[in-house]
Amino acid sequence: MRASRLLTILTTLQARGRVTAKTLADECEVSLRTIYRDVDALSAAGIPVYSERGSEGGYRLLDGYRTRLNGLSAREAEALFMTGLSGPAADLGLGAVMAAAQTKLLAAMPVELRAGAERVRARFHLDAPGWFGEAEQPAHLTAIANAVWEQRALQIRYRSWKAEKHRRIEPLGIVLKGGSWYVAGQVGTSVRIYRIARIRELAMLDERFERPESFDLATFWADSTQRLGEELHSNRATVRLSPMGVKLMEMLLSPLVRNGAVIAAEADADGWRVVTLPVGSERQAAAELMSFGPEAEVLAPQALRLRIAALAAELVRLYGEKAHLEAVST
């Protein structure tokens, strides 16, 4: 533990120049007295650490003293810092590890590469959740991350949309999607996806498992989400969209639906275009298409058209009554 801490102190000084004892103590999560002893140990080992007094004082390394990380191009060094997802890493229990790794990497880089890496860190930031949403903080996320690393089986109690289930899973990987965390778990011969926030209870088992050599998390996730999207949009609807409605497609429809839409090449006399697009259940499609307001008219299927007409009539009744009461009260 002390050897790791001494390396952290050394690389932090190398990366930042002057650093106060309190800053080192906070980052290493030890007392000031421990930092003083560690700095003395570095000096005794021949590391040229010296202190500067005053309000801007602190510890520094003798100019020119550093180790180098060779073999990295400028682009490669910058790319490494694009992987620093500090928020998700912290959620997984790896925040301190990520910060320490980046500090050591930055310290080991030659000066000409370090400037580029610092520019990337200052200019790019990943905000995983969608707009106006918050990232989930599932209670069992860190435990599941540990199970993934250690290849330990899990016993979970999971609440799906339909029922509560008990499952023994072998966690193969974790995915953060739109602010929600998911675990890909092998159950028997198949791999299933579980939303971690819906795991009510979890127990890590003593059993270890062998990770399938052919399993690739990114490929599995891409294939699964594509297949799920197609299953949830297995029907088609024909819709007439105004010029504004065509523009709203980008905002209101998912990429899968937009990519599957067929838009008529020519507009009608009113400037509207007929669009055929994939939709889900009648209820889901009605909710999705009503978000277009008066910029869309469903032509087919007839059942969907009638459902939207009924919902629109209910809205007229609801808001019409309220508008009448407000008018009377004034």
Q: What is the pLDDT of residues 33-78, one digit of tens each?
A: 999 998 888 888 788 888 888 777 789 888 767 655 555 555 555 5
pLDDT band of residue 138 (cuts 50, 70, 90) is confident
The more confidently predicted of residues 140 and 5 is: 140
Q: At what angle do helices 21-28 and 2-16 cross, to 10 degrees?
A: 130
How large is the average pLDDT for residues 11-24? 86
- Among 99, 88, 84, smallest CA distance to 26 is for 99
Strands (E), the chain: 49-52, 58-61, 152-159, 164-177, 180-187, 190-195, 199-208, 235-241, 262-263, 273-279, 296-300
Classified by CATH at the fold level, domain 2-61 comes out as Arc Repressor Mutant, subunit A (1.10.10)
How large is the average pLDDT for residues 124-128? 62
pLDDT at residue 123 in the model: 67
Q: Does domain 233-322 have CATH number 3.30.70?
A: yes
Q: Say yes or no to pLDDT of 261 above 60.
A: yes
- 3 state DSSP class of 58: strand
Averaged pLDDT score across all residues of the chain: 83
pLDDT at residue 292 in the model: 97
Q: What percent of the chain has pLDDT over 70?
A: 74
pLDDT at residue 256 in the model: 85
pLDDT at residue 299 in the model: 97
- Give the residue extent of every domain in the chain: 2-61, 74-123, 141-229, 233-322
How large is the average pLDDT for residues 268-279? 96
Second CATH level (architecture) for the domain 141-229: Roll (2.30)
Q: What digits encode the pLDDT tens for the residues 217-239? A: 989 998 998 888 888 899 999 99
pLDDT at residue 54 in the model: 74
How far is residue 174's CA from residue 28's CA, in Å, rounded to a whole number?
28
The more confidently predicted of residues 86 and 140 is: 140
> What residues contact residue 172 under an 8 Å CB cut-off, 6+ apart?
148, 184, 185, 186, 191, 211, 212, 215, 217
